[in-house]
Structure 1
Amino acid sequence: MSRSKTIVAFGDSLTFGYGVKEENKWTNILAKSLGCRVINSGVCGNTSSEGLVRIEEDVLKYKPDYVIINFGMNDHFIKTDGSKEAKVSLEQFEENIEKIIFLTKQINAVPVLVTPNKIIEGNIGDENCGGGATYYYRRHPYYLYKNIGGANAQLKKYCSKIVELGLKHCIATLDINKLCESKSLYSIIINLTNSNEDDGVHINELGAKFYSENIYKTLKNLL
């Protein structure tokens, strides 16, 4: 790819590279592999709704050639307010991603969809983040997910929607979530074994390499 090309990686903490040294973030590895500029516009904790609020300042103003869209991890969380609703409903998520796609195409940039990785759900404990609950269920109570197949099943709905939108709009789509099915999550996700951290969501340096290698393949196919 030409050094004059610009890519914006647009998403949440998985894009930002939470917990990974700057030089080992997948965006920086990708920039070196492709030999072009990759702007990291990932913001920790962001949903697709929050991404839309900042898309002009963090994406469009750069007039990129490609925009990697990587939301869903924060959208899928089920709220603890008793509503049993996701932080961003699946319907709203679909609307948000389609708007991001539209705005990307409007500036003649090529959108590329990337699903979030699977998570380490962990021990359920007392089903309410206590009693020895670990990883995802240490922060998100299991009782909210027990009747829908668990947290990964909830996340999968959002990943499936991303894949569906890719097909609908004829957009290159990388299903990282599906690729995780053939990987050991304990090797690519920050956890007590490899980082002494009870995380279970964010990718480590091996995970960043996993992301960059597969995104590289996807982008190379577009050239």
Structure 2
Amino acid sequence: MLFIKLLILLIMGICLLNKLVGLCLICLCFISCSSRITVLNKGVAGNNSRDLLKRIEKDVLQEKPDLVVMMVGSNDMVNSGKLVAYPEFKENYERLLKKMTSSGVTVVVMSPPPVDTAYILKRHDRILYDEPLDHKLDSLNRLVGQIAKANGIHFIDLYTLFKSKGSPSRAPGSLTMNQANFGKEDGIHPTKRGYMLIAETLYRYLKKNKLLRKSKKIICFGDSITYGAFMEGAGTSTGDTYPSFLKNMITTGQQY
């Protein structure tokens, strides 16, 4: 009788050990797979769609990425020294998409967040714009969504997301830099929390659409928002940039 009890305990112990070993192997596999994913920050401050076309060969195509996340348009619409009309922007955008997709790259595009127009007009001449800046960014958001849909490209609407969070505003909790939360009348670049929101939204989208399974190299391509202006680690995939937060979430499987 004692022998049977000992045998049962031994079998139960072996089963438990097997389960633990299995869980460990699953964890190790996940960590190993995640650590093989490279995230590169290819954002350049001040870039518009023309600039991205000039450097896409070197910064994107020569890197042979599996996935590219592109966000551009803020400078095209609100930077008085970089303004691009809607027809040219559409042409530039579609050329960018064609260059990437024809190379076998999976592309996800994100519309830029909204801006604080009053802050922008303190440093840019109002007479240079033919329509209100909030109208321009709203039109850009819809245009990017339409281009993505027409070309079968993944689209994330950051413009509406930031608006739904009450940003931009002049409050300290705004996800866009302002005098209260950054000591600077910026009105265009996200705060650290804003960058975290971008990364988390992107990470959820990539997981939901199973875009991480075959992605070994991810390039984040864009302007100063991708670059991570004013953040620790700006221009890299470290610190407080959205590519950094994305890389950490992919590696750990945990969101912020």
TM-score bucket of the superposed structures, by smaller chain: 0.7 to 0.9
1:184 to 162, 166, 175: 166
Asked if residue 154 in structure 1 is aligned to residue 136 in structure 2, the reply is: yes
Higher relative contact order (CA 8 A, sep 6+): 2
Residues 71 and 109 of structure 2 are in contact (CA less than 8 Å); yes or no, is this contact kept in structure 1?
Answer: yes
Report the AA paired with residue 164 of structure 1. Answer: Q
Shift of 1:217: 1.7
Q: Which runs of 5+ in 2 are unaligned?
A: 1-29, 211-256
Q: Secondary structure at the match of 1:194?
A: helix
Shift of 1:206: 0.6
**Deviation per residue, 1:168-217 (Å, 9 max, x gap):** 01111001001122112241111100010110010110110111011112
Q: Secondary structure at the match of 1:99?
A: helix
2:182 to 172, 182, 195: 195
Cα separation, 2, equivalents of 1:189 and 1:77: 15
2:84 to 83, 88, 94: 88
Residues 178 and 185 of structure 2 are in contact (CA less than 8 Å); yes or no, is this contact kept in structure 1?
Answer: yes
Report the AA paired with residue 144 of structure 2. Answer: I
Q: Secondary structure at the match of 1:75?
A: helix
- State the structure with more CA Rg: 2
Residues 191 and 200 of structure 1 are in contact (CA less than 8 Å); yes or no, is this contact kept in structure 2?
Answer: yes
Cα separation, 2, equivalents of 1:44 and 1:103: 22
Q: Secondary structure at the match of 2:209?
A: coil
Name the structure 2 match of 1:141: 125
Q: Secondary structure at the match of 2:180?
A: coil
Residues 219/204 of structure 1: CA separation in 2 closer, same or farther (3 Å cut): same
- The total of aligned residue pairs comes to 176
Residues 80 and 125 of structure 2 are in contact (CA less than 8 Å); yes or no, is this contact kept in structure 1?
Answer: no
Residues 72/4 of structure 1: CA separation in 2 closer, same or farther (3 Å cut): farther
Residues 141 and 159 of structure 2 are in contact (CA less than 8 Å); yes or no, is this contact kept in structure 1?
Answer: yes
1:169 to 120, 138, 151: 151
Cα separation, 2, equivalents of 1:180 and 1:138: 22
The 5 A counterparts of 1:90-109 are: 90-109=86-105
Residues 162 and 175 of structure 2 are in contact (CA less than 8 Å); yes or no, is this contact kept in structure 1?
Answer: no
Shift of 1:41: 0.5
Q: Secondary structure at the match of 2:53?
A: helix
Residues 163/3 of structure 1: CA separation in 2 closer, same or farther (3 Å cut): farther
Name the structure 2 match of 1:57: 58
Any runs of at least 4 consecutive aligned residues in structure 1 with deviations exceeding 3 A, and if so which?
Answer: 2-5, 142-145
Residues 92/3 of structure 1: CA separation in 2 closer, same or farther (3 Å cut): farther
TM-score for both structures, normalised by structure 1: 0.72
Cα separation, 1, equivalents of 2:85 and 2:160: 21
Q: Which runs of 5+ in 1 are unaligned?
A: 6-31, 81-85, 123-134
Cα separation, 2, equivalents of 1:40 and 1:68: 10
Cα separation, 1, equivalents of 2:32 and 2:205: 19
Asked if residue 41 in structure 1 is aligned to residue 47 in structure 2, the reply is: no
- Higher helix share goes to which structure? 2
Residues 78 and 144 of structure 1 are in contact (CA less than 8 Å); yes or no, is this contact kept in structure 2?
Answer: no
Cα separation, 2, equivalents of 1:89 and 1:165: 15
Q: Secondary structure at the match of 1:64?
A: coil
Report the AA paired with residue 95 of structure 1. Answer: E
Shift of 1:79: 4.2
